Amino acid sequence: MNYCPNYGAPQVLGQNFCANCGFDVREPAQPGQVAVQPTARDIRGLGRNTVVYLTDAGLRGVEISSGTLLFLAVFAPLFILVAIYLVTNSGVLDVYAAIWMAASFLLYDELRWRGLRNLDRSPFPSDMDGKGRSWLAPWRSIRMADWNGRTLWFTASDPKRKITITFDREDASAVEKTLNAWRVRYVWRPPRLPSFFTRFWTLALLVFIIGQAILILAATLPFFPGEEQVYSTILNNTKSGVTGATFIQAFRAIYLNNIQVAWGGTVPFLGQLAFGIANYNTGRVIQVIAIGNNPPVSPSLVLVGLYLFPHTWVEESAYPIATVAGLLAITKWRTVAPGEFARRLNRGSTKFALSMGGVALILLVAGLIETSGLFIGLGEILFWVPLGVAYFLFAKRRRRRRQLEALEAT
């Protein structure tokens, strides 16, 4: 049994015209082309909560998991965190929001994976038709599409049928041949940036540069009316938290403040705004330190001294990582192919949670170095030695892993 390319209704084998719309189902492919008719199991892509199969009738989509379960996956962790906040009355709300994002993303993706696994065990598409879980976008109903070699974005005649689908690498050529065979019209879009500029570490470096530019400008530009008093109060409150404190007390104050700034930066859009504000505040405090020195010194001199200490670079590197992770968690990391999705480390939710954990570890190191600097002064510079060794080992391991990946790809 085939499907009408125009209407999507099942057609009896040998029937020349669709019984529903009268479309000629005998229409041949374009000259020189061979019509590709993959089976449902051959080529499939993954959407947000839909697995999409390329069939001779069109794009057949099936809902992976129950919408109710996914709704609970998103909001159940939120209720728990709110209860903890009300009981303890401690912490910053944006930190709780970051933890909620990580927990809900992990649970959401796990439910999607279980639904996908259950779908693989059932016959398709006969058991899905008429149950509200499947839909069909006939090839002729697709008004426009965009194919970038891995991901297909399309919109059909049905205004509700707009979806982004990511396919496995080994299926990419077959998908493109199928789209060409059924003459799917491509929509023009502006040229994309090279993949280098969309990589995690490239974006983190860019955000780091932007953050430091904001910090330097805030440290050197004149205060607005009333600003100096505000930031003098902030500096005095910060000093009171570590003056006369033990090593553990000082470390706790420094670490908790830094982790709040970093994890708060993972909240999409609001976090990026908070990241910029945090760098601005830091720059203004540096200017207050320069003015309050006896005798007063240039803010640029304070900045140079600050960049000589290792804790500055370690700490400042954590904030861009958190900020970029928050953005990618709702964009690039949400588009994963079915084969990749089976491995938890490939999921966006896992990458986001690991990024948060990595940021916490980086700030732990930065906090220990900064707290040590409060007691040993300029001796903190000696920490550059173990940090340099750690970076060398990390870079060597990363280079070796890239070489292995290149060998596997060839």
Encode pLDDT of 3-37 as tens digits. 666 555 565 555 544 555 444 555 544 444 444 44
Helix (H) or strand (E) holding 400: helix 384-409
pTM over 0.85, yes/no: no
pLDDT score of 276: 94
pLDDT score of 29: 42
Counted domains in the chain? 2
Residue 7 lies in a domain: no
Residue 18 lies in a domain: no
pLDDT score of 11: 56
Q: Which residues of the chain have pLDDT under 50?
A: 1, 16-17, 21-23, 28-40, 126-127, 129-131
88-125: per-residue pLDDT in tens? 777 777 788 889 999 999 999 999 998 888 877 765 55
pLDDT score of 10: 64
Nearest to 207 by CA among 309, 327, 370, 96: 327
pLDDT score of 124: 56
Helix locations, 187-345, DSSP H: 200-220, 227-242, 247-264, 270-292, 299-308, 310-328, 338-341
Q: For residues 207 and 356, state if they share a domain.
A: yes
Q: For residues 188 and 232, state if they share a domain.
A: no
What span, in angstroms and rounded, lies between the C-alpha atoms of 74 and 111? 11
Residue 148 lies in a domain: yes
Q: For residues 376 and 363, state if they share a domain.
A: yes
Nearest to 65 by CA among 110, 129, 24, 34: 110
Q: For residues 188 and 212, state if they share a domain.
A: no
Final residue before a domain boundary, out of 177, 192, 207: 192
Q: For residues 97 and 158, state if they share a domain.
A: yes
Query: Would you give the distance in Å from CA 310 to the centre of its chain?
Result: 28
Q: For residues 267 and 370, state if they share a domain.
A: yes
The count of other CB atoms within 10 Å of the CB of residue 198 is 13
Q: For residues 184 and 55, state if they share a domain.
A: yes
Final residue before a domain boundary, out of 157, 192, 227: 192
CA angle, 51 as apex, 45 and 56 as ends, to 5°? 70
pLDDT score of 188: 54
Tokens standing for residue 202: 């490239």
Residue 6 lies in a domain: no
Q: For residues 206 and 115, state if they share a domain.
A: no
Q: For residues 184 and 234, state if they share a domain.
A: no
Strands (E), 72-159: 134-138, 142-147, 151-156
- Residues contacting residue 102 through CB under 8 Å, at least 6 positions apart: 349, 352, 353, 356
For helices 310-328 and 247-264, the axis angle rounded to 10 degrees is 30
pLDDT score of 86: 82
Burial tier of 56 (Cβ tally within 10 Å: 0-12, 13-18, 19+): middle
pLDDT score of 192: 63
Q: For residues 165 and 252, state if they share a domain.
A: no
Q: For residues 217 and 108, state if they share a domain.
A: no
Helix (H) or strand (E) holding 198: none
Q: In what order do the strands lie in the sheet with 162-167?
A: 134-138, 58-63, 50-54, 44-46, 162-167, 151-156, 142-147
Residue 77 lies in a domain: yes
For helices 67-88 and 93-120, the axis angle rounded to 10 degrees is 150
pLDDT score of 163: 84
Domain that holds residue 159: 35-192
